[in-house]
A and B are shown apart, each in its own frame.
Chain A
Amino acid sequence: MKIGIFLAYNPAVILSKEGLGRYIGNLIKGFLDSKCEITIACPKWSIDMIKQLLNDFSVDEESVNFLISQKGMAVWTLYEYLILREKRKSKKYFIFKELSSILELLTEVIVSVSNIGILATLVICFAIICILLFPIVIIAELTIICFNLVKSLLHKGTFNIKQSFKDFNSIFIQFSKSGKSIIRHTFERMCKKVEQDLVKKINLQSSEDIWYVPSLFWPEVTKISLPTVINAPDLVTTEFPYKFADTGIEVDNCLRTLQDGKYFITYCEYVKEDLLISKYGKEERCCKAIPHINNDMRKFINIVPNFEVNEEQKEEYIKSFSRALLQKLPQYAKNNLEYLHGFDFSNIKFILYSSQARPNKNMLSLFKAYRYLLRERYCSVKLFITGDISQQKECMEYIQKNCLQYDIISFYNVPVQILAAMYQEAELSVNPTLYEGGFPFTFGEGMSVGTPSVMSNIPQVMEVMGEYTLDEVIFDPYDWRDIADKIEYALKQKDEVLKKELLLYKKIEKRNPELVANEYLAAFKEFRRLNQ
């Protein structure tokens, strides 16, 4: 089957560092293993990021075709040059530096001259060269100073430029149709153009059997003339309107995609029934629930020595490799750089919540549970998270107020290999989420490297875990004491919990990329049949 995959992500997204990205990576691998032809439609700015994702999943980039949109690249390149590159150290006043080096060299020559006549001649020659070069040096330096000044005005907005821009921006926000800041408006328009351009290109050039869209972000995909299947992970914003109102997230696009799309795949029956059929009135035959692929993290750290080793030695290699990877964590820390300087990770015990920091992720309850465990129960473990909580005011305030910044540490955007090492070495994977699109990845990611999980008793979890007797590790996410109790229990009874969870994992483990890709292929075939 020829499958098109639509990935019109904005330039800020790094798929390999997100759970969904790893899901897409696995799925592509599964499709290719099932002898499908893959074409990825994406903006030019995403090419490197997608190749990195393919690389992470051992997919040869040559085995995938690309349909690329160049739209927006000019604006993006300009933005990158003017704003993003400013962070790099500029070489200011380099001419003066060069001049100093030349002078140092000249001094060397002068001090080695023994004849006063030669010295006088040298000094005169040097003076003449200086006089001749002086205007050129001054002009060059002035040009650089002016250029730097303009750049600095643009970046730092010194003098009144920043204020003027702010004033202009507020007028723009007030009177423009979009009601957004000029930069945001431009950014969104740029992404929209790309989305439209990709759809146009698909309609003109594509001969794929089906187009698969892994997200609800792009309503334009409903205009693709070929059969198009959209993943509807969830619509979490409608479940947490108060909290999402504080964020910049907008759901208009998702709602439009839901309204206008025809064929959908969800990750669990709950979302299929609750969202697609009940709320959006989609036809049941046009919706399928296909549970996640198990994200096997072991492959990223599975060291195999050239010579024969027993299981125990092999595990030692993996452990030592993982610990060496953990030593790189400080470069991904969002804060605490001073604290983490010279910090030794080789024996650190920690619990891990690998998730983006979104309102439904219930971070604050976990932090409260952690505070209690650390301060009142003397659980010495640290709490590592992978989400960027710096924008979550209440979480930050709680951490500061309770001085937990040295024990709750956020490592953001860690590469998948380091994430695998974090799972491998964690005492426990914790997931206090209030709402998910499907059974959380964290369970399989942890268990694939032998780390058990404690989780929320939300329907998406219970749908899978319900039939197993795992009450000791399932908690009420609305009760931080319950979260704490279950974490403490699992920390103390880790082996027992692992043994119990292994039964469930054995089932989940079977959901490898090829198996799930085949379920997708079956669904695609069914949707194509309906489309005819």
Chain B
Amino acid sequence: MKKKRVLWLINHSTLREFEVPLLIELGYEVFCPKSFPYDEGNLSASIDYKYDESLTIAKETLDKLNNVNFYEDISVEISSIINEFFGIAFFAAFPRQFKMLTKHFKGVLCLRPFGLPNGYTYAELFAEANGFYFLAQIEKLKGRFFFCQAFSDLAEIESNCFKNHAIYLPLGLKNTSISDNWNGKDKKVFFVCPRIKTSEYFNNIYKFFKLNFKEFDYVIGGAQPISVREDKNVLGFISREEYDNNMKALSVMFYHSKEERHIHYHPFEAIRNGMPLIFMGGGVLDKFGGKDLPGRCTSVKEAKRKIKRILKGDEKFIKLVRNTQEILIKPMNYQVCKTEWVRNFIQIEKACKKQSLESKKKVAVIMSGGYTGGVLDFSIRFALSIKRAIEDEKAEVELIFAHEDLPIFNCNHYFQKIKDAGIPIRTFNKENKDKEWVKKTLKLMNYPDNFNDDFVTVCNDGINYFFDCDYLLLTSDAFEQTFFSLRPYALVVHDYIQRYVPEIFPFRSNKNVMDCAKNADTVFVTSKSTMMDAVQYGGINKNKIRLIPLMIEAMQNVNNSVESEDEYKDDFFVWSTNVSPHKNHQNAMMALVEYYKNGGALKGYVTGSNTEYLDDSSNIEDGNGVPVMYIKKLQKIIKENRCLKENLVFCGNLSKSEYAKLIQTAKFLFHPGYGDNGNGSAVDAASLGTPTISSDYPAMRYMDEFAELNMTFFDPFNIESISSELKKAEKFYKEYAKKLPSFEQLKKHTTDNTYKWLYHIVKETIGF
């Protein structure tokens, strides 16, 4: 059985002084983190090695833990260490940390909330930071999650996911004995207000105090990360000695807060030091001391009156305040708190003893949209790769595949491979719903219903909107409105081509595409350049993005070379393209004109979806869903340039075998497009022994590096650069071909080998 050990993943100094010794007294070994984010909100955080002594784990294991920042994602190794050695994790309300623990920690999770400003709940905080679906993930933790509230009423206003798991572990102080050092000789008010120039919240409190209490002499304590030089009353950093002197000499402390569910430590420090405390009613202190204490005020006017009495030396009143305020600190007393902790900790211990019964995860790969080309290939390879790894690892995961219920998918066997792999297939319809529907849904789940979008798109699978799944993996973002799901989802973003070639999506709303990625739990990208665009253009936090392998597959050689020679008598190159403007046809055609003018002898075989329309004799009026005006412009160029008419052969979309045959026979592959996530034909060509000359842009550079293709590059915006590279390729294609990777080398980078990499990321993302 696992030893009684706690991961106490908090770095608050005062809190640690109280809680860690208490946990040790309860019989636990405690690990405290030695690293925390250097951000402005963590200025009173610290690290302490002394509790390492309580641990009976090997030094090298402890050293590993001591090097981890538990506020970020953790590695698989650290994940297995904490699961092996620790049964309980305590942590504060850091959304990213909470999310990390829900995914990686299999023990009991104890959220330690200390209250939020009035009108704000933890459910709202986590839903805003991690998505609504995070609340569902918390619910799924069931008996191994506790909302360990520091004040007994924090859960009252929370959603069920917290309310139903609340236990009371009171906030305490290491030392609550009252000293009698105070003399109050310095006739000034002591007001504590840190971070005046770095926090809007405290800046407003500072302004409130200055506005209302300017008639008194005062000093303002609290850490000031940026000095408030203009106000000499703001102390900023002071030594311990100065601090003790202030506590001893200043006449009175004023505490402003009316927050019902949050309190600061400094009023208790004043009480501990015997300094009279004048405070506003309505806050947490009312719960400790009732509404009749002499130091309590209901208005600023009353507070000023009471402060005046103290500053004037009204001994009777001072004595009254001092003698009665002790009641406020009593609930913080170590022994008082310990009794409560011991009583309530039993529930946590019980949960620890229970063998965690992790249910089988159900994951859906969902392809939205009627794709029949690259996205379809990707989706199928993606699902098959995951399925293969699940089987290899005998993982407790059920995988399903879903595509939109569209006529185009009815008569073809697009999903045969999925069926063959034994993956159940669902179809779904997209539905647009309004804000009210969303709010109602959230309300039914007892989640906060702050929702901004007027409309959303949901996927109706005719069963329960994929609610039976634990996680959704979306392989496309084809939604009319912002995608909405109560289940966490990862989205594959193939590219942000609209950033570079905006004209190709003139009517596509950016919002739904952007929001679909912004709201995702994780974003998968297949190239470093798309990763960069996801950050720069998509506005997605880097930590949410994962690089997955390019899902490439090698093509087998076609063994009917005699036929090929008969079929393709001329020497030629292949131009693999479609009719989208990002394929850069205009520059490519102008470059080809130059090439032929300069004696270029190779014919150009143009293949790809709708490329038959580029033939100037084709009737474009019938073109279905193609950019008619754009194609007409290209037809005109061809018509005006005889050399193009004579040398270009427009093949349209070819069958896989015809396509392979064409590429295998070609001297080289020509790819003048740009802005997308790369052209997979380069991999097809390499596997068939044909070299590629390509536009120089980040995605193709990445593909070249990923699959070691050794391509040759040209500038797609410079006609001379394109034509001279065509000329060079005509001459040196054999040398280019020699630089290609062998079939075996190439196979290393295909899904046959990279499926494990993909699975590893999916596993980490979903947390199974």
By a beta-carbon cutoff of 8 Å, the part of chain A in contact with chain B is 54-55, 58-61, 299-307, 309, 313, 316-317, 320-321, 324, 338-349, 374-376, 378, 380-382, 402-403, 406-407, 417
The answer for the CA separation of A460 and B723 in the assembled complex, in Å, is: 45
Residues of A within 8 Å of B698, CB to CB, are 378
Question: By the criterion CB–CB under 8 Å, are A317 and B38 in contact?
Answer: yes
Question: By the criterion CB–CB under 8 Å, are B230 and A58 in contact?
Answer: yes
When C-beta atoms are compared, the residue in chain B nearest to A55 turns out to be: B230
**B422 within 8 Å of A by Cβ?**
no
The answer for the CA separation of A341 and B519 in the assembled complex, in Å, is: 11
The answer for the CA separation of A380 and B534 in the assembled complex, in Å, is: 10
The answer for the CA separation of A309 and B500 in the assembled complex, in Å, is: 43
Contact partner of B514 among A303, A304, A339, CB < 8 A? A339
Residues of A within 8 Å of B597, CB to CB, are none
**B642 within 8 Å of A by Cβ?**
no
The answer for the CA separation of A277 and B230 in the assembled complex, in Å, is: 41
Residues of A within 8 Å of B518, CB to CB, are 342-344
Contact partner of B226 among A302, A343, A345, A406, CB < 8 A? A302
The answer for the CA separation of A430 and B226 in the assembled complex, in Å, is: 28
Question: By the criterion CB–CB under 8 Å, are A380 and B230 in contact?
Answer: no
Contact partner of B40 among A299, A307, A317, A347, CB < 8 A? A317
20 sample A-B contacts, Cβ–Cβ < 8 Å, listed by A number: A58-B230, A60-B231, A61-B230, A303-B198, A303-B226, A305-B43, A317-B38, A317-B39, A320-B38, A320-B39, A341-B515, A343-B539, A375-B500, A376-B717, A380-B533, A382-B536, A403-B498, A403-B502, A406-B510, A407-B537
Interface residues of B in 681-708 (CB under 8 A from A): 697-698
Interface residues of B in 421-461 (CB under 8 A from A): 452
Question: By the criterion CB–CB under 8 Å, are B515 and A380 in contact?
Answer: no
The answer for the CA separation of A89 and B229 in the assembled complex, in Å, is: 38
Known contacts A343-B539, A346-B542; decide if A313 and B226 are in contact (CB<8 Å): no
Question: By the criterion CB–CB under 8 Å, are A321 and B502 in contact?
Answer: no
Nearest first, the 8 A-B pairs at minimum CB distance are A403-B502, A343-B539, A316-B38, A320-B39, A58-B229, A344-B541, A303-B225, A58-B230
Residues of B within 8 Å of A304, CB to CB, are 225-227, 237
Interface residues of B in 489-511 (CB under 8 A from A): 498-500, 502-503, 510-511
When C-beta atoms are compared, the residue in chain B nearest to A314 turns out to be: B38
Residues of A within 8 Å of B40, CB to CB, are 303, 317, 320-321, 324
Residues of B within 8 Å of A302, CB to CB, are 226
Question: By the criterion CB–CB under 8 Å, are A374 and B225 in contact?
Answer: no
**B117 within 8 Å of A by Cβ?**
no
Question: By the criterion CB–CB under 8 Å, are B226 and A301 in contact?
Answer: yes
The answer for the CA separation of A225 and B38 in the assembled complex, in Å, is: 57
Instruction: With a 10 A CB-CB cut-off, give which of A320, A380, A402 has the most chain B CB atoms.
Output: A380
Question: By the criterion CB–CB under 8 Å, are B532 and A380 in contact?
Answer: yes
The answer for the CA separation of A342 and B127 in the assembled complex, in Å, is: 13
Residues of B within 8 Å of A378, CB to CB, are 500, 529, 697-698
**B559 within 8 Å of A by Cβ?**
no
Question: By the criterion CB–CB under 8 Å, are A407 and B539 in contact?
Answer: no
A-B Cβ contacts below 8 A, count: 101
The answer for the CA separation of A357 and B225 in the assembled complex, in Å, is: 34
Contact with A along B514-534 (1 / 0, CB 8 A): 110011000000000100110
Residues of B within 8 Å of A61, CB to CB, are 230
Q: How far is the CB of B151 from chain A (nearest CB, A)?
A: 27
**B37 within 8 Å of A by Cβ?**
yes
By a beta-carbon cutoff of 8 Å, the part of chain B in contact with chain A is 37-40, 43-44, 46, 197-198, 223, 225-232, 237, 452, 498-500, 502-503, 510-511, 514-515, 518-519, 529, 532-533, 535-537, 539-542, 697-698, 717
Q: Is the interface of A mostly helix, strand, loop or mixed?
A: loop
> Told that A380-B532, A402-B502, A407-B499 touch, could you supply 7 new A-B pairs with CB distance under 8 A?
A54-B230, A304-B237, A321-B198, A324-B39, A344-B539, A378-B500, A406-B499
Question: By the criterion CB–CB under 8 Å, are A347 and B535 in contact?
Answer: yes
Q: How far is the CB of A408 from chain B (nearest CB, A)?
A: 12
When C-beta atoms are compared, the residue in chain A nearest to B198 turns out to be: A321
Question: By the criterion CB–CB under 8 Å, are B539 and A60 in contact?
Answer: no
Instruction: With a 10 A CB-CB cut-off, give which of A344, A349, A381 has the most chain B CB atoms.
Output: A344
Residues of B within 8 Å of A340, CB to CB, are 539
Q: How far is the CB of A196 from chain B (nearest CB, A)?
A: 33
Q: How far is the CB of B480 from chain A (nearest CB, A)?
A: 16
The answer for the CA separation of A344 and B498 in the assembled complex, in Å, is: 19
Known contacts A300-B226, A324-B40; decide if A344 and B540 are in contact (CB<8 Å): yes
Q: How far is the CB of A305 from chain B (nearest CB, A)?
A: 5
The answer for the CA separation of A306 and B37 in the assembled complex, in Å, is: 15
Residues of A within 8 Å of B500, CB to CB, are 374-375, 378
The answer for the CA separation of A59 and B231 in the assembled complex, in Å, is: 8
Known contacts A305-B225, A374-B500; decide if A349 and B536 are in contact (CB<8 Å): yes
Instruction: With a 10 A CB-CB cut-off, give which of B514, B539, B717 has the most chain A CB atoms.
Output: B539
Question: By the criterion CB–CB under 8 Å, are A339 and B536 in contact?
Answer: no
When C-beta atoms are compared, the residue in chain A nearest to B452 turns out to be: A341
The answer for the CA separation of A343 and B697 in the assembled complex, in Å, is: 26
Residues of A within 8 Å of B230, CB to CB, are 54-55, 58-61
Known contacts A344-B541, A347-B542, A380-B532; decide if A339 and B502 are in contact (CB<8 Å): no
Residues of B within 8 Å of A342, CB to CB, are 515, 518-519, 539
The answer for the CA separation of A60 and B214 in the assembled complex, in Å, is: 14
Known contacts A60-B231, A302-B226, A403-B502; decide if A321 and B39 are in contact (CB<8 Å): yes
Residues of B within 8 Å of A374, CB to CB, are 499-500
Question: By the criterion CB–CB under 8 Å, are B536 and A380 in contact?
Answer: yes
Q: How far is the CB of B716 from chain A (nearest CB, A)?
A: 9
Q: How far is the CB of A426 from chain B (nearest CB, A)?
A: 14
Q: How far is the CB of B720 from chain A (nearest CB, A)?
A: 15
The answer for the CA separation of A299 and B227 in the assembled complex, in Å, is: 9
Residues of B within 8 Å of A348, CB to CB, are 535-536, 539
When C-beta atoms are compared, the residue in chain B nearest to A309 turns out to be: B38
Known contacts A320-B40, A324-B39; decide if A347 and B541 are in contact (CB<8 Å): yes
When C-beta atoms are compared, the residue in chain B nearest to A381 turns out to be: B536
The answer for the CA separation of A407 and B536 in the assembled complex, in Å, is: 9
The answer for the CA separation of A348 and B534 in the assembled complex, in Å, is: 10
The answer for the CA separation of A204 and B223 in the assembled complex, in Å, is: 47
The answer for the CA separation of A344 and B535 in the assembled complex, in Å, is: 8
The answer for the CA separation of A338 and B232 in the assembled complex, in Å, is: 43
Q: How far is the CB of B676 from chain A (nearest CB, A)?
A: 12
Known contacts A303-B198, A347-B535, A348-B535; decide if A313 and B38 are in contact (CB<8 Å): yes
The answer for the CA separation of A328 and B263 in the assembled complex, in Å, is: 26
Q: How far is the CB of A444 from chain B (nearest CB, A)?
A: 20
The answer for the CA separation of A442 and B219 in the assembled complex, in Å, is: 38
The answer for the CA separation of A12 and B428 in the assembled complex, in Å, is: 55
The answer for the CA separation of A310 and B315 in the assembled complex, in Å, is: 48
The answer for the CA separation of A348 and B532 in the assembled complex, in Å, is: 9
The answer for the CA separation of A344 and B544 in the assembled complex, in Å, is: 11
Q: How far is the CB of B685 from chain A (nearest CB, A)?
A: 23
Residues of B within 8 Å of A303, CB to CB, are 40, 198, 225-226
Q: How far is the CB of A16 from chain B (nearest CB, A)?
A: 14
When C-beta atoms are compared, the residue in chain A nearest to B225 turns out to be: A303
Question: By the criterion CB–CB under 8 Å, are A346 and B237 in contact?
Answer: no
The answer for the CA separation of A380 and B537 in the assembled complex, in Å, is: 8
Residues of B within 8 Å of A58, CB to CB, are 227-230
When C-beta atoms are compared, the residue in chain B nearest to A54 turns out to be: B230
The answer for the CA separation of A505 and B43 in the assembled complex, in Å, is: 31
Question: By the criterion CB–CB under 8 Å, are A406 and B537 in contact?
Answer: yes
Q: How far is the CB of A219 from chain B (nearest CB, A)?
A: 34
The answer for the CA separation of A340 and B538 in the assembled complex, in Å, is: 9
Residues of A within 8 Å of B536, CB to CB, are 348-349, 380-382
The answer for the CA separation of A376 and B539 in the assembled complex, in Å, is: 22
Q: How far is the CB of A30 from chain B (nearest CB, A)?
A: 14
When C-beta atoms are compared, the residue in chain B nearest to A328 turns out to be: B200
Residues of B within 8 Å of A55, CB to CB, are 230
Q: How far is the CB of B259 from chain A (nearest CB, A)?
A: 22
Question: By the criterion CB–CB under 8 Å, are A306 and B226 in contact?
Answer: no
When C-beta atoms are compared, the residue in chain A nearest to B675 turns out to be: A375
Instruction: With a 10 A CB-CB cut-off, give which of A321, A402, A407 has the most chain B CB atoms.
Output: A321
When C-beta atoms are compared, the residue in chain B nearest to A63 turns out to be: B230
